Structure 1
Amino acid sequence: MTSTIETPGKARAAISKRHLRTDNWWLTPLLTFLGLAGFLIYATVRLFVDGYYWSPEQSYLAPFYSPCLATTCTEGSSHFLGQPFDLSALPSWVSPAMIILILPGGFRATCYYYRKSYYRSFWVSPPACAVPDGHKKYTGETRFPLIFQNVHRYFFYAAVLVGAVLTYDAGIAFFDQAGDFRVGVGTVILVLNAIAIWAYTLGCHSCRNIVGGRLTHFSKHPIRYWLWTQVSKLNKRHQFWAWVSMFSVVIADAYVWMVSAGVFTDLTII
């Protein structure tokens, strides 16, 4: 006489409900969806505005257009790398922001935290822990187009360059058009945005692996170990900095937009 032993996990428990969670599990993916959707809507609108991104009186450059690398950039806004890209052969709706946003956009889109966020909120895959996947088949990130998520570490290097440029922009925001030192509300906003961007970028999982990965003995690499511990502190709150930096870049960009458009006047603090 033989007996059949069922392997644990092979079959689902015989219950009529899709899951047994009784809390408001749907609230987190809903709020995530609204937050990410709001950012995408703003970014899309900003891409096509193609104007009001440089305020010469205060030396404010909007993050979405920094660095401005096209020949069509507003005079004075290409202060860092010049204007190497000629957009005259492209459709008229192509703006300078579409060139540079590929880099930070690619970094965020392939970020480990953001993957979890939009997988759960947009694709319902799965929407929450202990809640069934919204799709019948799961293939992970092994097929097109999700296989391209593996380029995240390369976008990290580009994000470091973007962070450096935004830091430079925050620096020149301390000097007005005449070259005199001043601190305005916009200066503070641009500085805080640069700090948030760096905290998010350096807390990236790829950065943590770069500074401390492939080491057998930390004791033999004290500098890399120290860097790894510092990055780990940021990595621990990577989700927090991901959201803070996303909102800070929108606030900084919108503020420069409004000042440049003359909607309101920048307040001088010092």
Structure 2
Amino acid sequence: MTRGNQTHITEFLLLGLTSDPRKQVWLFASFLAMYLVNMAGSSVIIAAIQGDAHLHTPMYFFLPKLALVDICFTNIIVPRMLANILSKGKKDPFAQCLTQMYFFVTCAITDSFLLAVMAIDRYVAICNPLHYTTTMDPRRCLLLVITSWLVSHLHALTHTILMARLSFCGPNIIHHFFCDVQPLLMLSCSDTSVNELLAFTEGSFVIMSPFLCIIVSYVYIAHAVLWVPSGRGRFKVFSTCGSHFTVVSLFYGTIISVYIRPWSTYSVTKDRVVTFI
């Protein structure tokens, strides 16, 4: 499609992680194995919690929701990436690219909010155990999950609408393995200042607000644990938060290093590896 002397791009070429055929075979096998393990692990978590009536408690209410988001996350990126590794042509239509970006952003923000909600859940369980069942009742837990999804979809929809208004005149090569916000903006021949401002302000707020909530929750948890008299008791309390804290560290470490920083320092070639991790 052309307008005047400009050719407007309608599809994009995803380069992936490497163009070396030998490395592509190794990457395909590795990603396929990790994909199957991730799908199996998340599915087992959901089935185990849903199938055991003893686990139908507020403590385990959010875990299958987080596992479901991880399944969605994986299916948004990995199957298409595996297909691109096998195929010679790796072109994605613009609409398909925007769709992938929309659901990627949605799942990322939902993950962020669910991790914050789980931190609040641990805070209430450890710092206010007598009021835990009344504070984290099923209706309130469900409302927190629904709110997380609604905010995430609204955030992703805003970015997608603004991205759809941009023009892409070439080149159409994305040095990434999926359609992310930054790589697409770098290819646009339109004024992207509004998109960049939204990503850095509203995007930072949506990501950092749950992160700060997690930090505050863990500060209160740490303060409460210090009052536990025995070392075994302190270890037992911390062990209930260990896996959650590990996931938070990996998730927000990646998010902050790739997305929450000045636009001029972004490098698709370097940051695509961090994004995958």
TM-score range, shorter chain: 0.3 to 0.5
Q: Name the structure where helix makes up a greater proportion of residues.
A: 2
Q: Which has the higher contact order (CA 8 A, sep 6+)?
A: 2
Structure of greater Rg: 1
